[in-house]
A and B are shown apart, each in its own frame.
Chain A
Amino acid sequence: MRAELLARWTVLGLIAALAVAALLGLVGQSPRGTVAVGDAAELEVSAPTRLRGGVFFQARFTVDARAPVERPTLVLDPGWLESMHINTIEPAPTEEASRDGDLALTFSPLEPGDRLVVYMQFQVNPTNVGRRSADVGLYDGETLITSVERTVTVFP
Chain B
Amino acid sequence: MDIVLRAFFAFVFVILVTRVIGRRELSSLEPFDLILLIVLGDLIQQGVTQSDYSFTGLVLAGGTFALLSVGVSYLVFRFRRVRPLFEPEPLILVEDGKLIERNLRRERLTVEEVAAAARLQQIPSLAEVRWAVLETGGKISFIPRSRG
B146 lies within 8 A of chain A by Cβ: no
Q: Which residue of B lies closest to A28 (CB)?
A: B56
A156-B54 in contact given A19-B4, A22-B3, A30-B1 (Cβ < 8 Å): yes
Please report the C-alpha to C-alpha distance between residue A69 and residue B31 in the assembled complex, in whole angstroms. 68
List the A side residues contacting B4 at CB < 8 Å. Answer: 19, 22-23
Contact of A15 among B52, B53, B63 (CB under 8 A): B63
List the B side residues contacting A16 at CB < 8 Å. Answer: 63, 67
A54 lies within 8 A of chain B by Cβ: yes
Contact of B56 among A15, A23, A27 (CB under 8 A): A27
Encode contact with A along B54-91: 1 for CB under 8 Å, 0 otherwise. Answer: 11110110011011001000000000000000000000
In the complex, the answer to whether B54 meets A126 with C-beta atoms within 8 Å is yes
B113 lies within 8 A of chain A by Cβ: no
A123-B51 in contact given A25-B1, A27-B56 (Cβ < 8 Å): yes
Q: Which residue of A lies closest to B8 (CB)?
A: A19
B112 lies within 8 A of chain A by Cβ: no
Q: Which residue of A lies closest to B7 (CB)?
A: A19
Interface size class of A (residues with CB under 8 A): 20 to 34
List the A side residues contacting B51 at CB < 8 Å. Answer: 54-56, 123
A37 lies within 8 A of chain B by Cβ: no
In the complex, the answer to whether A27 meets B52 with C-beta atoms within 8 Å is no
In the complex, the answer to whether B63 meets A52 with C-beta atoms within 8 Å is no
User: How many Å from the CB of A128 to the closest CB on chain B?
Assistant: 10
User: How many Å from the CB of A47 to the closest CB on chain B?
Assistant: 16
Encode contact with B along A1-45: 1 for CB under 8 Å, 0 otherwise. Answer: 000000000001001101100111101111000000000000000
User: How many Å from the CB of B107 to the closest CB on chain A?
Assistant: 35
A93 lies within 8 A of chain B by Cβ: no
Please report the C-alpha to C-alpha distance between residue A100 and residue B1 in the assembled complex, in whole angstroms. 36
A156-B1 in contact given A12-B70, A15-B67 (Cβ < 8 Å): no
Contact of B54 among A23, A56, A155 (CB under 8 A): A155
A141 lies within 8 A of chain B by Cβ: no
User: How many Å from the CB of A10 to the closest CB on chain B?
Assistant: 13
Residue from the set A16, A18, A52, A155 with the largest chain B CB neighbour count within 10 Å: A52
List the 5 closest A-B pairs by CB distance, nearest first.
A54-B53, A52-B54, A15-B63, A53-B54, A126-B53
| Chain A positions near chain B (C-beta within 8 angstroms) | 12, 15-16, 18-19, 22-25, 27-30, 52-56, 123, 126, 155-156
6 additional A-B pairs beyond A23-B5, A53-B52, beta carbons within 8 Å, are A12-B70, A18-B63, A22-B60, A55-B50, A155-B54, A156-B56
